[in-house]
Chains A and B, each alone.
Chain A
Amino acid sequence: MAISIQEVQHIAKLAKLTFTEAELERFTRELNKILEYVEKLNELDTSNVEPLSHTTDIHNVMRADEVKPSLPVDEVLANAPSREGNFFKVPKVVK
């Protein structure tokens, strides 16, 4: 199950990451090594095993519909690189 350099490029794009040619080659190589390693798991016959998404038996952890105090706006925006009034300000997206 080898991963191609195009796939690595695609994943990088989805993750908003930019790599040099050399980096792309390196990551492709390294990712392939990791995939080869976990490939070993496929040797197990899991045809009769239900897919597992959570390892505990806990379910239905819920809260009542009650309003709790929110953060003060200045704290909310404290880490924002840029703000305009009480809005986060970000580079223009779409249009």
Chain B
Amino acid sequence: MQYEAVIGLEVHAQLLTDSKIFCGCSTRFGAEPNSQTCPVCLGMPGVLPVLNERAVEFAIRMGLATNCSIASFSRFARKNYFYPDLPKGYQISQYELPLCSNGYVDIELEDGTEKRIGIIRIHLEEDAGKSIHDPALAGEDTLVDLNRCGVPLIEIVSAPDLRTPQEAYAYLVRLKQLVTYLGICDGNMEEGSLRCDANVSVRPVGSDTFGVKTEVKNMNSFRNVERALTYEINRQIQVLESGGKIVQETLLWDANEGIARPMRSKEEAHDYRYFPEPDLVPLEVSEAWIEKIKADLPELPRARKKRFVEQYKIPVYDAGVLTMTRELADYYEAITQVCSDFKMVSNWVMGEVLRVLNERKIDIADFPISPERLGKLLNLILNKTISINIAKTVFEEMLQSDAEPEAIVEEKGLAQVSDRGLIEEIVDKVIQENPKQVEQYRGGKTKVFGYFVGQVMRATRGKANPAIVNEILKEKLSG
């Protein structure tokens, strides 16, 4: 039987506020354990949480970017459960009245088509602390650091619209792109600022009912989400094929082993006894506030991609690569202020620049060549001062120093030779020195042409203008 998977993702994104969601403690990552805590986030009796306005604004930004309705009235709820990293014994979250609901994002599939994925809701909540179980550090015990306790999160719940691990991957890539464009989350899955849990079930192709689902957790990279889902879908199909039944359970992905293991059942799990949070007053979001946030939204990735195609006349593929991150798109646009050959700029950013970023595993923010300097280099190609090959040499130099490209060309004597007289002289010499090849060429073996070009380039240390070399060589060889 042919099966298809039904996948829904719950994504948690840590918001980039300076302070926590309900108190003034810092959210800075990597501080000394428990040094960023106070009576509010420690769950001391008698304290009152006060909502961080910017956290609300960030959540609304994401709601608007994913075409959600923003609730004019919403409130917070307590989700009750016991765990050492949750000192209050409940997490403040939202339940029946989330801030954002009924949105969608369009994801790009590998064949270039788009698919719309529903967003059921986006709500605000607080993060829990961090438990360390590693015996090397904690021995027989568990160590708890509450610095993360109360860091603002949004939870983004997708509709069960994803059908393959690849779609889930594309959806996550889109969400990461959105949160980083919006500047509300750094989108780093490895460091846990973006986290993903998946609900997975399978069913016969063509069926419109859902199978029994399992929940997969602990996938801490985009690739691991894809791998874990592939694993779990295959496992479920195997169980069904051998006449078994899927048990509803929570599985933890083990990236080292490449398998998902059932989590030891949390006792009475999912009995959270939600009720409205009495310590926080309801939240009313006015049209005026929404309009203000909307007005401040940056240009979003899809709009920017479309604009790049129209404004810079570059292929859709290029525009997609260049707008993958806001920073890279900014970098590209900054170069276009200096160099007007937009396609060449695109080729260089997608080729040389991205190559170096990958090799050095750095972000564009840490790339040593400013857009202005790269633009000037490309202008040297445009005005035929240097060839593309020489430009690549200059580019390597520029990675090492802050020198301007013109200065490097000058200093190393790399300027292209376009002097016809000079090139003619060299061509004559090469022809004279290679009578055998000349004979071959004239005898119809035109492949040796490349040999002559090579010889001329060698004689000029790559500086001869290739177009002129070709032209003169053709003329003289046919001689």
Residues of A within 8 Å of B267, CB to CB, are 13
B131 near A93: Cβ-Cβ < 8 Å:
yes
User: Is A40 among interface residues, defined by CB-CB distance under 8 A?
Assistant: no
Looking at the assembled complex, report how far the CB atom of A19 sits from the nearest CB atom of chain B, in whole angstroms.
16
Stretch at the interface among B25-33, B228-236, B312-320, B433-441: B25-33
Residues of B within 8 A of A33 (CB): none
Identify which of B33, B38, B80, B284 contacts A59 (C-beta below 8 A): B284
A53 with B264: CB separation less than 8 A: no
Q: Using Cβ atoms and an 8 Å threshold, which residues of chain B touch A76?
A: 34-35, 37, 42, 146
What does the 1/0 interface line of B302-321 toward A look like (CB < 8 Å)?
00000000000000000000
Does chain A have a CB within 8 A of B283? yes
When A59-B284, A76-B42 are in contact, do A53 and B75 touch as well, CB less than 8 Å?
yes
Q: Mark A64-95, 1 if CB is under 8 A from B, else 0.
A: 11111111010011000010111111111111
Q: Does B258 contact A (CB under 8 A)?
A: no
Query: With an 8 A cutoff between CB atoms, is B18 at the interface?
Result: yes
Q: Is the CB of B25 within 8 A of A70?
A: yes
Which residues of B have CB within 8 Å of A10?
268, 271
In the complex, the answer to whether A60 meets B84 with C-beta atoms within 8 Å is no
| B26 pairs with A86, CB closer than 8 A | no
Q: Which residues of B contact A87 (CB under 8 A)?
A: 33-34, 132, 143-145
Chain B residue nearest to A86 (CB atoms) is B33
Alpha-carbon distance between A68 and B38 when the two chains are bound, in angstroms = 10
Contact partner, B36, options A60, A70, A82, Cβ 8 Å? A70
Tell whether, in the assembled complex, residue B35 and residue A67 are in contact, meaning their CB atoms are under 8 Å apart: no
1/0 per residue, CB under 8 A from B, across A3-40: the answer is: 00000001001101000000000000000000000000
Interface of A is mostly: loop
Q: Is the CB of A62 within 8 A of B141?
A: no
The answer to whether B143 touches A88 (Cβ under 8 A) is: yes
CB distance from A31 to the nearest CB of B (A): 15
- Indicate which residue in A69, A84, A89, A93 contacts B83 across the interface (CB closer than 8 Å): A93
Interface band, chain A: 35 or more
**B257 → chain A closest CB, angstroms:** 15
Give every chain A residue within 8 A of B37 (Cβ-Cβ): 70-71, 76
Instruction: Decide if A70 touches B55 in the complex (CB within 8 Å).
Output: no
Q: Pick the contact of A91 from B23, B34, B36, B142 — CB < 8 Å?
A: B142
Stretch of B45-53, B397-405, B459-467 with 4 or more beta carbons under 8 angstroms from chain A: B45-53
B213 within 8 A of A: no
Complex CA distance for A81 and B80, rounded to whole angstroms: 23
B144 engages A88 (CB within 8 Å): yes
Chain B CB within 8 A of A42 CB: no
Residues B141 and A65 in contact, CB atoms below 8 Å apart: no
- Whether the Cβ atoms of B133 and A84 lie closer than 8 Å is no
**Do B133 and A86 have beta carbons less than 8 Å apart?**
no
- A58 sits at the interface (CB 8 A): yes
Q: Which of B180-188, B273-281, B362-370, B406-414 contacts A (4 or more CB under 8 A)?
A: B273-281
Docked-complex contact A61 and B141, CB < 8 angstroms? no
Chain B residues with CB below 8 A from A58, complex form: 281
Asked whether A77 lies within 8 Å of B34 as measured between CB atoms, the reply is yes
Q: How far is the CA of A61 from the CA of B386 in the complex (A)?
A: 63
Asked if A62 contacts B53 (CB within 8 A), the reply is yes
B56 touches A (CB below 8 Å): yes
Roughly how many angstroms separate A67 CA and B37 CA in the complex, as a whole number?
Answer: 11
A56 CB within 8 Å of chain B: yes
For chain A, residues 39 to 60, give those with C-beta under 8 angstroms from any C-beta of chain B: 53-54, 56, 58-60
Say yes or no: is B82 at the interface (Cβ < 8 Å to chain A): yes
Q: B54: CB under 8 A from chain A?
A: yes
Our pick among B32, B36, B142 for the contact of A93 (Cβ within 8 Å) is B142
Residue contact B75 to A66, C-beta cutoff 8 Å: no
> Which among A53, A73, A85 is the interface contact of B276 at CB below 8 angstroms?
A53
Q: Cβ of A14 and Cβ of B271 under 8 Å apart?
A: yes
Q: Closest Cβ of chain B: how far from A12's Cβ, in Å? A: 11
Given A14-B273, A62-B56, A76-B42, check contact A90 B144 (CB 8 Å): yes
**A–B pairs, 8, beta carbons within 8 Å:** A14-B80, A53-B278, A54-B278, A59-B284, A70-B26, A73-B35, A90-B143, A91-B141
Interface residues of B (CB under 8 A from A): 17-19, 23-26, 32-39, 42, 50-56, 75, 80, 82-84, 131-133, 138, 140-146, 263-264, 267-268, 271, 273, 276, 278, 280-284
